């Protein structure tokens, strides 16, 4: 399963570099703040638990990599008692002088601050270089609606979107009364939705515009077969822009060429390549009237799909003989806007996670395995896309670490604030017990999340392997063009 991943050392280096750097930057923020505030620093650790390897610097700080890759920490005995995490100290040193409330808050918040600075730095790079963005990402127009979806019980059911009356060409204006600006908004609004019907089933209210009229539609999402999150079965519109035409194909004979865009079939608009593929499959060897646009000029042509043999088993399928060209636009997003968007996404997911009416659960989160695999997959696209994901990861780290939970930075800040209000220090054994308990909880969550992360990796890699095997079975088609790649179902939401 992992052979394909291990065979790409450059991608592995990128994953280790950026994921490790995000953790290092966070902990380095604590380290710098502690040096500034003149706190005693014992250890700088990437990971928790037993020491694997490392070194000591001239100041006596133990720089180490530890066994459990759950994050990292800087051991600051004046800020936090780590006995609940690491057990009793090796030696009983002289008591250290207490530090001020301001020192505690500054040092505890410094890690998140450095993550935000790192995110802004990476965002600035993307602002200057620009990042390729698919037209589908920026679309709010429905391109394709699934007739069937598989639910969490493995049963095929009618697609919720098509059942509710959503049609290709509809423009999504709002979901659950929240305005929509791109397809990512649509995806998050559906998956993190919290509305339910009177019977307790998931429910989503979608405002669409169709032919100048606004319609309020009630949609009842199903829970996904694998992730157990809400889906309704629709995909964003994309341009049917021809990138290449196969030799001797029906498309070539009809005069289609690179740069032509298919706008309609038999007078009906088409908004997605999958929709055209289905039309061709449903009308084998029947003449189709295609409305074509190129450079503002429109024309209508006729062509008939041909049945062609596409694999060694002799199976046939109707094709017209074109390859699609993906439409990308380079966007220069303001770095502050990038961070703000990442903050919104993080709080949206956190809100869904704790909301009793949501279907988002801990199993839907990603741990180190899932994050690393995501970085690996994105690295196959390009380094700029990796930087964009790392911006989100760093904002995630900043916000999550500020939650008022023992072990996290926010927990240290909460303990310090409680002590400030009480005007009395919290007993060290209470803090140690709380940290030990929550460390155990985090370890169990880590194992639980990793189980589902590995499952996702296995499914994705198996699908890729099956696709490669399927391609190996392909044969040159009858009109002697290369294998057509236009009839690939695209991800649906």
* Domain limits, the chain: 3-130+376-426, 134-236+327-331, 242-326
Question: 3-42 burial by CB neighbour count: b if 16+ within 10 A, else e?
Answer: eebeeeeebbebbeebbebbbbbbbbbbbbbbeebebbbe
**From CA 401, how far away is CA 418, in angstroms rounded?**
18
Which residues face 206 on adjacent strands?
Answer: 175, 217
d(CA 359, CA 203): 11
The CATH homologous superfamily to which domain 242-326 belongs is PDZ domain (2.30.42.10)
- Residue 484: the pLDDT is 44
pTM of the model: 0.86
| CATH number assigned to the domain covering 134-236+327-331 | 2.30.42.10
**Separation between Cα atoms, residue 261 and residue 291, nearest integer Å:** 8
Per-residue pLDDT at 491: 39
List the end-to-end C-alpha distance of the chain, in Å, as a whole number.
26
The candidate with the shortest Cα–Cα distance to 477, out of 346, 314, 237, 359, is 314
Judge contact between 70 and 419, C-beta under 8 A.
Answer: no
d(CA 265, CA 23): 52
**Average pLDDT per run of 10 along the chain, which is 493 residues long?**
65 82 94 94 88 91 85 84 51 72 96 98 97 93 95 92 97 97 96 96 97 97 93 96 92 94 96 93 89 95 88 83 92 97 95 96 91 88 93 96 94 95 90 91 93 91 74 62 41 39
What are residue 158's phi and psi, to 5 degrees? -60, 135
Backbone phi, then psi, for 418, in 5-degree steps? -60, -45
Q: Which tokens go with 476?
A: 């040159």
pLDDT of residue 404: 96
Tokens 């890729």 appear where?
Answer: 464
Task: Pinpoint the alpha helices (H) of 266-334.
Answer: 273-282
Position 71 scores a pLDDT of 76
Residue whose C-alpha is closest to residue 223's, from 212, 232, 210: 232
Beta bridge partners of 178: 175
State the pLDDT at residue 92: 52
∠ CA 171-174-132, rounded to 5°: 65
Percentage helix, strand, coil, to 5, in the chain?
45, 25, 35
């Amino acid at each position: 399963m992992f052979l394909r991943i291990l065979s790409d050392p450059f991608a592995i280096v990128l994953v280790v570099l950026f994921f490790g750097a995000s953790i290092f930057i966070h902990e380095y923020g604590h380290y710098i703040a502690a040096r500034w505030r003149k706190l005693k620093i014992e250890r700088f650790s990437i990971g928790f638990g037993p020491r694997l390897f490392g070194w000591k610097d001239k100041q006596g700080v133990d720089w180490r990599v530890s066994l459990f890759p759950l994050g990292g920490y800087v051991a600051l005995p004046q800020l936090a008692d780590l006995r609940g995490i690491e057990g009793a100290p090796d030696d009983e040193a002289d008591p250290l002088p207490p530090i001020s409330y301001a020192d505690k808050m500054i040092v505890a918040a410094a890690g998140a601050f450095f993550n935000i600075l790192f995110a802004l730095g990476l965002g600035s790079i993307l602002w200057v270089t620009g990042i390729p963005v698919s037209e589908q990402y920026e679309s709010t127009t429905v391109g394709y609606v699934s007739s069937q979806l598989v639910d969490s019980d493995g049963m095929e059911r009618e697609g919720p979107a098509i059942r509710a009356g959503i049609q290709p060409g509809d423009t999504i204006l709002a979901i659950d009364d929240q305005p929509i600006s791109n397809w990512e908004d649509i995806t998050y609004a559906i998956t993190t939705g919290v509305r339910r019907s009177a019977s307790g089933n998931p429910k989503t209210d979608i405002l669409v515009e169709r032919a100048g009229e606004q319609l309020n539609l009630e949609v009842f999402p199903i829970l996904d077969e694998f992730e157990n999150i809400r889906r309704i079965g629709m995909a964003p519109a994309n341009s049917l822009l021809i990138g290449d035409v196969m030799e001797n194909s029906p498309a070539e004979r009809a005069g289609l060429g690179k740069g032509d865009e298919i706008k309609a079939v038999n007078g009906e608009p088409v908004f997605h390549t999958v929709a055209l593929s289905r039309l061709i499959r449903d009308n084998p060897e029947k003449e189709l009237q295609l409305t074509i646009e190129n450079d503002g000029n429109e024309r209508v042509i006729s062509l008939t799909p041909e049945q062609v043999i596409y694999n060694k088993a002799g199976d046939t399928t109707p094709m017209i003989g074109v390859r699609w060209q993906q439409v990308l636009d380079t966007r220069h997003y303001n770095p502050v806007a990038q961070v703000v968007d990442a903050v919104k996404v993080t709080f949206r997911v956190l809100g869904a996670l704790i909301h009793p009416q949501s279907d988002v659960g801990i199993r839907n989160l990603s741990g180190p395995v899932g994050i690393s695999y995501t970085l690996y997959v994105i690295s196959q696209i390009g380094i700029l896309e990796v930087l964009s994901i790392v911006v989100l990861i760093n904002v995630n780290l900043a916000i999550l670490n500020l939650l008022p939970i023992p072990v996290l930075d926010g927990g240290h800040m909460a303990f310090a604030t409680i002590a400030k209000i009480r005007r009395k220090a919290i007993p060290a054994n209470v803090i140690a017990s709380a940290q030990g308990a929550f460390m155990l909880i985090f370890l169990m969550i880590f194992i639980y999340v990793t189980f589902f992360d590995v499952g996702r990796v296995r499914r994705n890699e198996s699908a890729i392997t099956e696709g490669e095997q399927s391609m190996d079975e392909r044969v040159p088609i009858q009109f002697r063009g290369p294998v057509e790649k236009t009839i690939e179902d695209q991800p649906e939401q």
